[in-house]
Amino acid sequence: MVNIQKKSSLFSCNCLSIIVLIIAIILAIIYPEETSELLLRINKFFNKNSGPTTDRKKEIIIGIDFGSTQSGYQIFYNSEIGFQNDMIITTELIFDLYFQKGLSIGNEAHYFPKENIEKQNKLYFTKFKRNLDPKIKSNMANSTIPIGGQIANDKLILEFLRLIKEYIINNTINDLINYENIKDVKWILTVPPLWDDNAKKKMKELATKAEMYNVQIALEPEVASLAIFYDEKIKKELLKPGTSFLLVDMGGYTVDFTAMKILDENKNLEQLLKPVSFTNGSNLINEYIISIIEEAYTKDKLDKVKKTNYQLWEKTLDEIEKAKKVINDNNAEHIKININFNDGRCGRLSDKCTLKYNNIDIPYTSHNIEIPKHLVLNKIYELTDEIIKNMKDQVFNSAQSINLIIITGGFSNNQILKDKINSYLKSTHKEKVFLQNPEKTVMKGAALFGIKPNQIIKRIMPVTIGISINENIFFTFVQRGESVETNKIIKKTIIPFDEKIQIYFADENEELNSDNKKYLDEIDIPLFENSDIPLERRNITVSMKFSSYIHLKLTEIGNNNFEEKILYYPS
């Protein structure tokens, strides 16, 4: 009797489980998003008392593509939940009038009414990221008022990073990221290859001040190379082991290149070409169109519009961005840009007037300007020719033959660019792919880099790197163009002559010497405790560990104390 009751209970339990499962499947079909949300809440409820383990905390990774005009982030929660919450926002920032604190970013900053913005006790900024590049003058940043100097620009970047962190906390599902576990998040912040060591250090320093405690800097084309395996546009047979590809990331500020070889089924990569940048991004087209409007309409009048009605000017910038993406040889002969700058010269709204640009007629009314298409086409042709030339140079410079060209970045959707690249590659018999979601490639790759930072298992050294213990004695660790395994440690034992060791680099593919050296950094030789040996008689081990950055470490032989420092490769 007991056995029968047990079997009956078991049968009832199984039936109940099956019924619940059927109901869950039906709900998932009818309400997929709500069901996913409910399951996450149930999972959170059953795990809240035990709390997340250390391993689960460490698995929260946020990749940030910090762009000049557009930024984005991708979150990887853990191996169970996977990727969630990707977002693209404009790189814009509203500050308080006294420049003390950032108030809003992204769309909130973009659509904030900017007419006489100072009277609202606010300031507006955009394109401030560029100023970390030492090759760019500080006046490249746009704002409603001129605020110059490196200190001011550092604060813009710091506040943007702080606000994007706040935005992520406030917009993740089920509070999976909150003010309590944000300290355990691993942040991957991307930069272009042309930035020097100081700019990369500054970005990491500002991110840390923004309370992104565990932050790592990564190069945009390197992380983009990791994202290609997750793009639906690429046929899987193209990404088989042995394939060598050139990746071209066409951004607004720079066009970046790198070349990789797929080594195995685990998607491990060997770098064939050091990452490089060229400052011929698509924003040059926007700036060219703006220069036509400025000359035709006069810069003084445009400045007045920006000052009194910035919202109208912002709409014009949006119109320019849209026009740039869709223009092709089949469009009408003029590009209409909505401006709404009625200065009275045209009288009624329907009247058409003519402005002049280099003796070329520019028709306009009170609400739009008609720029001759051939002017803009010539600029796009010029830019695409430069990009294709750079592409040819990079293919030629690669140590191995390239089988596949992968194109990504916001400008890769431009049809003229696609036609020109297709025409060039047709004669080379190389496969090519334009990625499906080019605006998201870098931020997705940044999160993947956080998951598997050693997926690129060999890197090409961009420069020769070594140390000097006095003016005439140098130790070379790696040479320019050398392929070095990720996490390889190279050690040198020295007897120091000074309390500092200088780190130098050289652009030539040869041993470091007094003629080719360029200063990179320096590190103190600490007065180690319990060491009565004079400095000039000490044996110091200098080790460098090479990955996406350089981990420098000094250790005194026979003593456990050490000194260490993180270095970034020079551009």
Amino acid at 546: F
Max avg pLDDT among 248-252, 306-310, 496-500, 522-526: 248-252
* Residue 373 · residue 331 · CB < 8 Å: yes
Give strand pairing partners of 62. Answer: 75, 187
Neighbours of 436 (CB within 10 A): 13
Q: What is the C-alpha to C-alpha distance for residues 364 and 566, in angstroms, rounded to an integer? A: 56
* CA–CA gap between residue 309 and residue 345 (Å, rounded): 19
Percentages helix, strand, coil for the chain, rounded to the nearest 5? Answer: 40, 30, 35
Task: In whole angstroms, give the CA distance from residue 443 to residue 220.
Answer: 9
Six token digits for residue 530: 């319990």
- In 93-149, where does DSSP find H-type helix? 106-110
CA separation for the pair 319, 314 (Å, rounded)? 9
What digits encode the pLDDT tens for the residues 345-390?
Answer: 555 545 667 777 788 888 877 677 888 888 888 898 999 999 989 9
Instruction: Look at residue 196 and tell me whether its pLDDT is greater than 70.
Output: yes
Residue 304 makes CB contacts below 8 A (sequence gap 6+) with: none
Q: In angstroms, rounded to a whole number, what is the distance separating the alpha carbons of residues 383 and 347?
A: 38
Full DSSP string of 312-348:
HHHHHHHHHHHHHHH--TTS-SEEEEE-----SSS-S
* Higher per-residue confidence, 17 vs 545: 545
Q: Which two tokens stand for residue 76?
A: 């990887």
Tens of pLDDT, residues 294-322: 877 777 777 777 777 777 777 888 888 88
Q: Which range has the worst mean pLDDT, 33-42, 109-118, 326-335, 507-516?
A: 33-42
| Contact in structure between 465 and 478 (CB atoms under 8 Å) | yes
Query: What is the model's pLDDT at position 42?
Result: 43
Q: How many CB atoms lie within 10 A of CB 291?
A: 13
- Average pLDDT of the residues in 190-210: 92
Q: What is the mean pLDDT of the chain?
A: 80
- Apex CA 175: angle with CA 172 and CA 178, to 5°? 95
Q: What is the pLDDT of residues 278-288, one digit of tens each?
A: 988 888 998 89
What gap in Å lies between CA 9 and CA 21, rounded to an integer?
18
Quote the CA–CA distance of 533 and 232 in Å, as a whole number.
Answer: 63
424 within 8 A of 84, measured Cβ to Cβ: no
For residue 164 the two structure tokens come to 């994007």
What is residue 48's DSSP assignment? T
Please provide the distance, in angstroms rounded to a whole number, between the alpha carbons at the two ends of the chain.
82
- Dihedral of alpha carbons 110, 434, 77, 185, sign: negative
| Cα–Cα distance, 415 to 421 (Å, whole number) | 10
Residue 242 pLDDT: 93
For the segment 226-274, what is each residue's pLDDT rounded down to a tens digit? 999 988 888 888 999 999 999 999 988 889 999 999 999 999 999 999 9
Exposed e or buried b per residue across 370-402, where buried means at least 16 C-beta atoms within 10 angstroms of its C-beta = bbbbebbbebbeebbeebbebbeebbeebeeeb
Find the helix or strand (DSSP H, E) in which 370 lies. strand 368-372
Phi, psi of 229 (to 5 degrees): -75, -10
For the segment 505-520, what is each residue's pLDDT rounded down to a tens digit?
A: 998 878 888 888 999 9
β-bridge pairing 404-408 and 368-372: unpaired
pLDDT tens track for 433-492: 999 889 999 999 999 999 999 999 999 999 999 999 888 889 999 999 999 999 999 999
The encoded tokens of residue 390 equal 């750079």
Q: Highest-confidence range of 147-156, 179-188, 251-260, 363-372, by mean pLDDT?
A: 251-260
For helices 415-426 and 373-397, what crossing angle results, to 10°?
Answer: 40
> What is the rounded distance in angstroms from the CA atom of residue 549 to the CA atom of residue 188?
13
Strands of the sheet with 61-65, listed across from one edge: 83-90, 70-76, 61-65, 186-191, 214-219
Q: Pick from 436, 414, 421, 418: which is nearest to 325 by CA?
A: 414
Distance between CA 358 and CA 380 in Å, rounded?
Answer: 19
Helix (H) or strand (E) holding 93: strand 92-96
User: Residue 530: its pLDDT value, please?
Assistant: 54
At residue 49 the predicted structure's pLDDT band, cuts being 50, 70 and 90, is very low
Mean pLDDT to the nearest integer, 153-169: 91
Q: Cα–Cα distance between 160 and 109 in angstroms, integer?
A: 11
Largest CA distance in the chain: 105
User: How many of the other CB atoms lie within 10 Å of CB of 570?
Assistant: 19
| Sign of the dihedral through C-alpha 172, 177, 182, 186 | negative
Tokens of 283: 């924003």
What is the DSSP secondary structure assignment for residue 85, as one 8-state letter?
Answer: E
Specify the residue for token string 């046929």: 235
Q: Which two tokens stand for residue 488?
A: 């390889």
Residue 546 backbone phi and psi in degrees, to 5: -105, 125
CA torsion through residues 131, 321, 103, 145, sign: positive
DSSP at 429: T
CA-based torsion, 332, 333, 339, 340: positive or negative: negative
Closest CA to 184 of 216, 205, 218, 212: 212
Contact 121, 97 (CB under 8 A): yes
